[in-house]
Structure 1
Amino acid sequence: MKGSSDEDAVSSRGYRDIYDELNATFESQLTKDLAWREKVLLRTLDMFRENHDAWTSAVIADLGGGRVRAVMEIGTVCDEVRTCISHLRRWAADRPASLGDPISELPLLDRRVVRPAPKGVVLVLGTWNFPINLAFVPLIDGLAAGNCCVVKPSEMTPRVAALTATLVHRYLPQEAVRVVNGAVPTATALLRLPFKHITYTGSTAVGRIVMAAAARGPTPCTLELGGKNPTFVDASADLRLAADRIVVAKTTNAGQWCVTADYVLCDAAVVDEFGKRLVEAARRMLGDAATQKGDGADTARQWYNRIVNEQHARRVLSLLEEDHGGEVLLGGAEEADVKERFVPFTIVKDPRRTSRLLTE
């Protein structure tokens, strides 16, 4: 599938033209109208309701797995639209400044207010692990606030990126919203433009690049970056419940999200029993590696999905192939299939603290 924007072939001048057109719309005051914003938000909801199967199919094609994960992601976007519509007029209303000085104690005399105002043209840099949510939630919030928006979906999820370009062009006003598809050169060219706000979700390394580019403005940024997330299990825990919850959290999107349970710190008094509980929970919920892989499976029932591409699958596999010093309780490198982007759910007990499993 091919999107309406043509990727890296568009010159920086072309991106500047897009920016100028959106900025002209913003300067016209059109987006400040609350009724206009509500209408655009409702069209966004229509875009997902009327094309639900197309969105679901695109996510499955890019990330594998079943319908549950795709439907869940689409649901978060629709919920965001409904929330913005419900609260839009209250959020946009004047409110007392409450500056804390003596005149603030005289409400009948203090007429100073804070008046929320849109910023202008904003840039949304989407990412691949939740390619619908992390492109559209910032877009929805930006439109609700009265901004014009440029969205660059991740090139690593090409079906979702192409569908985003096609449907945004069909449903949303082009004078206020544009989709630009492409890879690193496209993002680099966009970051040279004088956006009034930038949102980015992804790695810390790329986050630094975005922040450095924004500093030339200076342009405010909203960055959501990855990290290492510990989960604590002490001797007082319900070990079965803890294991069930950790397996669900870790296997959501095959572990490819920034707030997943990255590693477990467990009380030594219960670590062996907890390890058994984790293995039991994983086998009960996911089955063996063949079941997790889901070849020929009913997508309505499948949960575990694939790594986004071969490069990332190879990187994850390399963490298991190194001499990490731990005991593999479940899964492992032998059952992986890089060509199919499949890495089985794997549990490693007590890897070395300096191993890549605990440092990347």
Structure 2
Amino acid sequence: MSAQVPSEPIDTQWLSDTLSRQRKAFLNQPYPDAAERRRRLLSLKHVLQTNQDALCDAIDRDFNGRARMETLSAEFLPSIMGITDAMKHLKGWMRAQRKLAPLVFQPAAAKVFPQPLGVIGIIVPWNYPLYLAVGPLIAALAAGNHAMIKMSEFTPAFGALFADLMKQTFDPSVVTVVNGEVEVAQAFSSLPFDHLLFTGSTSVGRHIMRAASEHLTPVTLELGGKSPAVIDRSMPVREAADRLVYPKCLNAGQTCVAPDYVLCPEDSVDAFVQHFINEARRQFGDVAENPDYSAIINKRQRDRLVGYLDDARDKGASIHIAGDSDNLDDYGDKLPPILVTNVKASMTLMQDEIFGPILPVMAYRHFDETLAYINAHPRPLALYVYGYEKQLRATFEQKTHSGALLFNEALIHVAMDSLPFGGVGASGMGQYHGRYGFNTFSKLKPVVSKQRLNSLKLIYPPYKGWLMTAILKLFGR
């Protein structure tokens, strides 16, 4: 049974004491075997499967309307798949990798030994509270670590349920869930973890990294940014529009890897807008009454998004709403898919990560303009290219930087545990998922062993013999 999460205001000493208990417990079992790690992962899988409905309902309450199928497909399913993948490959990940010692150091044996780090801190955002808590936890447990998890204050119903379920499933010295407001997150990020993983905005990521630096705590920052979608003339614009609706509208656009803006051929912008609107209406119909279309998490976020539209309209943009009403108040807590054309760089929606169902469409005349625009801005978490021209792949692989690069699809890489997930530059640092998460939360420790025969004696000082001269000539060429 886990320790009780204290009521507000939080006693920061409680956080420190919890970390101390976890570290002490870890030191008592610093290298759990594969059976113990598998048992922990199975316990996590079981509690998720047996509480599926309650977890979905809690997220629905926090969003005041979260599409159940989106919670199942984008949170529950990849969580279960991630646990299954980790259990399948666990023994292989734990196995030390033999390395060949150079001839000059023979006889010797060398290997890389993956060692658990200790206690991992995990800070969870509000947009996918289940998957972005469980995903890092899978990696931490597979690597043999203990974990403390800070849930978002914007998902109190889910946070309380998740804390209770983890309390029932794990000893608090192995897994502890913390809930609370911003000051709790600040105190949490200042703890001397052995590794800290944060998922959230770039601006908050800077504060997290600054706090962690006080203890030289290694950090993995999974941030966001503006992920572009480039449409090449080699793909029919209707096809590109059809393929972009789902990844943009999943969770009402509240996804860190959602397409943030589109770069479209100038002569195809109008056609793209119309096809996108038609496809959005086909998929979602009346979004205000459609339970398969999610709400914006809270009024603060909705007001922010509406503010982007007001700013863009005031600066000359055209607004295209894929809904039955042009009055956004008619949609309640939701926002329909909205496209924005005639955008300018000075508009707020072209400067901030949108994180909602608003999609700016920028026109280009020559394809090289797309590369120039992307490379002139902070490196995105994902880059999506739509086109059938073969040369596109080599061009974007070699001439752009992004956390991930996808051709003719979006989002799906997040659920592929065989691939690393992480940003670059302003979109983050470090990576996890699958073996990459195991390695992130392990110290890949080099181990070198020599036996009775000590060949290095031959090169001990004084340096007067012929052997060192011969070695330098042979191996220093």
- Could you state the TM-score of these two structures normalised by the residue count of structure 1? 0.91
Q: Is 1:292 matched up with 2:287?
A: yes
Aligned to 1:60: 60
For residues 331 and 7 of structure 1, the distance between their equivalents in structure 2, rounded to whole angstroms, comes to: 44
For residues 89 and 20 of structure 2, the distance between their equivalents in structure 1, rounded to whole angstroms, comes to: 30
Aligned to 1:218: 216
Aligned to 1:335: 327
Larger Rg computed on CA atoms: 2
Is 1:16–1:193's contact at 8 Å kept on the other side of the alignment?
A: yes
Aligned to 2:98: 96
Aligned-partner residue type, residue 328 of structure 2: A
Q: Is 1:348 matched up with 2:349?
A: no
**Deviation sequence 1:118-171 (CA, Å, 0-9, x none):** 111110000101000111111111011011100011110111101110100011
Give runs of aligned pairs for residues 107-122 of structure 1, distance below 5 A. Answer: 109-122=107-120
Aligned to 2:83: 81
- Cα deviation, residue 306, structure 1: 1.0
The residue matched to 2:116 in structure 1 has which SS? coil
RMSD over equivalenced CA pairs, Å: 2.0
Q: Is 1:27 matched up with 2:19?
A: no
Give runs of aligned pairs for residues 122-271 of structure 1, distance below 5 A. Answer: 122-271=120-269
For residues 8 and 98 of structure 1, the distance between their equivalents in structure 2, rounded to whole angstroms, comes to: 55
For residues 89 and 338 of structure 1, the distance between their equivalents in structure 2, rounded to whole angstroms, comes to: 55
Aligned-partner residue type, residue 210 of structure 1: I
Which of 272, 278, 289 does residue 280 from structure 1 map onto?
A: 278
Is 1:31–1:37's contact at 8 Å kept on the other side of the alignment?
A: no
For residues 170 and 112 of structure 2, the distance between their equivalents in structure 1, rounded to whole angstroms, comes to: 30
Q: Which range moved further: 235-244 or 173-182?
A: 235-244
Aligned-partner residue type, residue 231 of structure 1: A
The residue matched to 1:8 in structure 2 has which SS? coil
- Cα deviation, residue 7, structure 1: 4.5
Name stretches of at least 5 consecutive residues in structure 2 with no aligned partner: 353-477
For residues 242 and 139 of structure 1, the distance between their equivalents in structure 2, rounded to whole angstroms, comes to: 36
For residues 167 and 264 of structure 2, the distance between their equivalents in structure 1, rounded to whole angstroms, comes to: 50
- Could you state the TM-score of these two structures normalised by the residue count of structure 2? 0.69
**Deviation sequence 1:301-325 (CA, Å, 0-9, x none):** x332111111111000111122141
Q: Is 1:359 matched up with 2:351?
A: yes
Aligned-partner residue type, residue 138 of structure 1: P
Aligned to 1:37: 37
